[in-house]
Amino acid sequence: MASTAAPPLRPWAADGVLGAAAAIVLLAGAVLGLGPESAPAARPVDAGAIGLSAVAAAAIAVRRRRPVTTLTVLDAVVLAWFFAPYPGRLVALLPLIGCYTLAAERGWRWGLTAAVATAFVEVVAIRVVLSDTETVGIVPYAVLTVATATSAGAAVGYYRKLLAATRAQLERETRAREEQARRIAAEERVRIARELHDVFGHSMATVSVQAGVALHVLDQRPDQARAALASIKKICDEGLTDVKLILGVLREDDTDDGPLAPRPGLDRIGELIDTAAGGLEVHLDVVGDPQPVPAAVDLAAYRIVQEALTNIVRHSRARTATLTVTHEPERLLLRVHDAGPAEPATTGAGHGIDGMRERARALSGRLTAGPCPGGGFEVCAELPIPERR
């Protein structure tokens, strides 16, 4: 059978045991007559000695909760013991426990005060009992033991404080890491939700338009219906590829299914216009010299254009739209304008425009969307390019 270790004593129980042991050792030393040979005739161990031992044991038992009281009582016991006089000099070691405890619990300043007071008590007690000749050799040892006990207590107290501070720092760092992990996870969930919204919103809107065209011309113009169905299949395939790309960050074994498709960006704007506009005729106008942009800006630009075109297909009766992409040294400008009247759903409480604004805001950019004074609806986005600043 596996042996189980006994649980450690609680601090107050350990102090009680220490006090009882000190009292027993003190009385045993007195009974055995451990003391200086030149001491005057000592009183036999009586009820007074037993009472002083009991007081010392009680003081040691509460040393962690009342360190100042413990040291004061132990110093008083030493004076009373030597003045009685009772035999044995082991009583002079009791205040060392108080000096150690006070320095450990209250710090080195309290410990220094305790050491000075206890050393004074020890010197007085020794000189009362011993002659001057004996005192010369004993006092230095007494002062040294007091200083040693106090220094040990101060070192232990410093170590405890350092350990507590280190643990507190580790706990703070752990909480900070957990909070950062939760924040990153939340941001990742929002990003994935936004990506899925863009992909599904655009794909489903375009599929709906193409399916409507196919149903309308199925009997009279089967070739056009076939083309609409082919377009639906292509849109669905591209949508599934985008979903796989978005959710790929949640998997560790993407290599099992082969490499993922490249992340959409400005280089796929033409493809988006040609195959996924749901019958909408889009005029593309590129202003400035196209330059490579950071991946985050590239993806955001693509998704903003995709969502803007999807909103036109969903909420506008426009048949044409204009997309202007302006490349500037420090920013990328996007403008999507349609000339058709917007339906009431355009100004409803949807998430498309909010999602576009969030994308621009995440890159320290801005986005405006609303009806134009001359008619139609317009989306304008400004995306800074930090690497060119």
User: What is the tens place of the pLDDT at every residue in 126-163?
Assistant: 776 665 455 556 777 778 888 888 888 889 988 888 99
Q: What is residue 254's predicted lDDT score, i.e. its pLDDT?
A: 45
Distance CA 323, CA 310 (A): 13
Residue 188, pLDDT > 80, answer no
Nearest partner of 104 among 91, 90, 116, 114, judged by Cα: 114
Q: What is residue 255's predicted lDDT score, i.e. its pLDDT?
A: 44
Higher pLDDT, 280 or 327: 327
- pLDDT confidence bin for 351, thresholds 50/70/90: low
Residue 47, pLDDT > 50, answer yes
Residue 29, pLDDT > 60, answer yes
Residue 333, beta-bridge partner list: 326, 382
DSSP 118-168: HHHHHHHHHHHHS-HHHHHHHHHHHHHHHHHHHHHHHHHHHHHHHHHHHHH
Distance CA 18, CA 374 (A): 94
Q: What is residue 342's predicted lDDT score, i.e. its pLDDT?
A: 53
Average pLDDT over residues 351-370: 84
Average pLDDT over residues 280-290: 86
Q: What is residue 28's predicted lDDT score, i.e. its pLDDT?
A: 86
- pLDDT confidence bin for 380, thresholds 50/70/90: very high
Across 10-19, 226-235, 238-247, the highest mean pLDDT is recorded for 10-19
Whole-number Cα distances in Å, 334 to 13, 194, 302: 76, 19, 10
Average pLDDT over residues 161-181: 88
Distance CA 331, CA 179 (A): 33
Q: Is the pTM of this model over 0.75?
A: no
Average pLDDT over residues 347-374: 78
84-126 confidence digits (pLDDT tens): 878 877 888 889 898 998 888 888 888 888 888 888 887 777 7
Q: What is residue 219's predicted lDDT score, i.e. its pLDDT?
A: 67
Q: What is residue 111's predicted lDDT score, i.e. its pLDDT?
A: 85
Q: What is residue 324's predicted lDDT score, i.e. its pLDDT?
A: 92
Helix, coil or strand: residue 38: coil
Q: What is residue 326's predicted lDDT score, i.e. its pLDDT?
A: 92
Distance CA 123, CA 358 (A): 79
Distance CA 149, CA 100 (A): 5
How does the average pLDDT of the chain come out, rounded? 77
Higher pLDDT, 306 or 58: 58
Higher pLDDT, 235 or 31: 31
What residues does each domain of the chain span?
11-170, 262-389
Average pLDDT over residues 33-56: 75
Q: What is residue 201's predicted lDDT score, i.e. its pLDDT?
A: 63
Q: What does the CA dihedral 211, 213, 219, 224 come to, rounded to 10 degrees?
A: -100
Distance CA 115, CA 99 (A): 6
Q: What is residue 368's predicted lDDT score, i.e. its pLDDT?
A: 92
Distance CA 13, CA 292 (A): 73
Strand order in the sheet with 320-327: 281-287, 320-327, 331-338, 377-384, 366-371
- pLDDT confidence bin for 213, thresholds 50/70/90: low
Residue 360, pLDDT > 80, answer yes
Average pLDDT over residues 204-222: 69
Q: How many helices (H) and strands (E) does the chain have?
A: 10, 5
- pLDDT confidence bin for 381, thresholds 50/70/90: very high
Distance CA 68, CA 101 (A): 9
Topology (CATH level 3) of domain 262-389: Heat Shock Protein 90 (3.30.565)
Radius of gyration of the chain (CA): 44
Nearest partner of 103 among 81, 93, 91, 118, judged by Cα: 118
